Amino acid sequence: MNEQPTTGTDGGPLAGLRVIDVATLFAGPLAATQLGDFGAEVIKVEHPRRPDGARGHGPSKDGVGLWYATIGRNKESITLDLSSPEGAAVLRRLVVDADVLVENFRPGTLERWGLAPADLLELNPGLVVARVTAFGQTGPYAPRPGFGSLAEAMSGFAAVTGEEGGPPTLPPFGLADGIASLATAFAVLAALRGRDRTGRGQVVDLAILEPILAMLGGQLTIYDQLGLVQERHGNRSVNNAPRNCYRTADDNWVAVSTSSQSIAERVMRLVGRPEPIDEPWFATGAGRAAHADELDEAVGSWIAARTTAEVLEAFTAAQAAVAPIYDVRGIVADPQVQARGTILTVPDPVLGPLQMQNVLFRLSETPGSVRWTARPHGADTDAVLSRAGYGPAEVAALREQGVV
């Protein structure tokens, strides 16, 4: 179970890049996972007695956290008590040969442990230190604890999500963390590109609040210029119509989107209600959104009289935009998902064949890959420290002291 992974990096585009992941729950570790998916060597550092909380997040099987099997993939796992002087000394030695350090402790924590980014950059001037926190390293909220849910609340996402007249709605998964992880991976690569030009590393200060705010479209600028505040409209859009979720005759749901004028016209012709197309208001998305009741009635009644298969076939033939609303069962069975290899089966030493999401995108020359699932807590401590120059007696002494 604790044998070293042997599949290598498969020549991914980030092969040769060494990343130290000392972050927990969830944005920082996910960013390191994305780097590892494309060939980076990722060393996951956890406390010897308090593993990353993601290991116990959600259901488990045979003692293995199923969510963490994905978050921890393509990483070696070591244990290290960074709060102890001895543990901090070990990290400093590891940092000397690293390219990236990802952390998400509250601002000031690394400094308190003698691991301030400025000091780490003195040891390794080319290091990129990615600091991922709820509110960033500056400002009055910087010291506060926080998770992605707070970013989803404060960014404006929850305020516009939910049914009209109903309460604000948070997503049922770590949306802000996921968006922040992509932003962190992008920031790391941008900093590394900067290093290519200057020879110097730098510090990435990423607040989980900010990437999800950036994804919310023109709301801020519209408010600035027009004083308009977007309200909750359920599955409708304030920018176009018909756009909604509609129930089929066999009690399934489909989503219809008409972001472009031509698609909106095709939908109305398909459902046998072409009359609105000639109305002046139909010529703009905002005009159609103002008549959403009328358009939804036309589309919804047509869909309600047909099975899901009939709806999908008719919309596809008309080149109109539609998709079934899936739960996980539909996702894994979908022929497009299967054809793309969007879901992989990866061997796990405890669980056996294990399905998980594939890498985020396809590269034609240097593709990413999932080489192994999450390693057991601390499984690679001896091997990683050995590569850093620690002898067996030194590692045994650190273990005796509770440092690893």
Beta strands in 48-173 (DSSP E): 60-61, 64-65, 75-79, 100-103, 128-133
What gap in Å lies between CA 294 and CA 272, rounded to an integer?
13
Residue 62 is a catalytic residue? no
**CA torsion angle for 166, 170, 173, 176 (degrees, to 10)?**
150
CA distance 403 to 396: 10
Q: What is the separation, in whole angstroms, between the first and last Cα of the chain? A: 19
CA gap 75, 52 in Å, rounded? 13
Q: Which residues pair with 322 in a beta bridge?
A: 256
Rounded CA-CA distance 158/153 in Å is 5
Backbone phi, psi, residue 119, to 5°: -70, -40
Please state, in angstroms and rounded to a whole number, the distance separating the CA atoms of residues 341 and 353.
15
Q: Of the residues 37, 81, 99, 177, which is catalytic?
A: 177
- Cα(193)–Cα(243) distance, integer angstroms: 41
Q: Of the candidates 160, 204, 155, which has an alpha carbon nearest to the alpha carbon of residue 179?
A: 155
Helix boundaries (H) for 72-174:
85-96, 109-112, 117-123, 148-154, 157-160
Mapping DSSP to helix (H, G, I), strand (E, B) and coil, where does residue 129 land? strand
Give me the residue label for tokens 């600035």: 224
- How far apart are alpha carbons 114 and 91 in whole angstroms? 11
Q: For residue 302, give both structure tokens.
A: 């047509």
Which residues make Cβ contacts (< 8 Å) with residue 119, sequence separation at least 6?
Answer: none
Question: What sign for the dihedral angle of Cα 349, 353, 357, 363?
Answer: positive
Cβ atoms of 158 and 229 within 8 Å: the answer is: no
**DSSP code of residue 200:** -
Catalytic residue ranges: 177
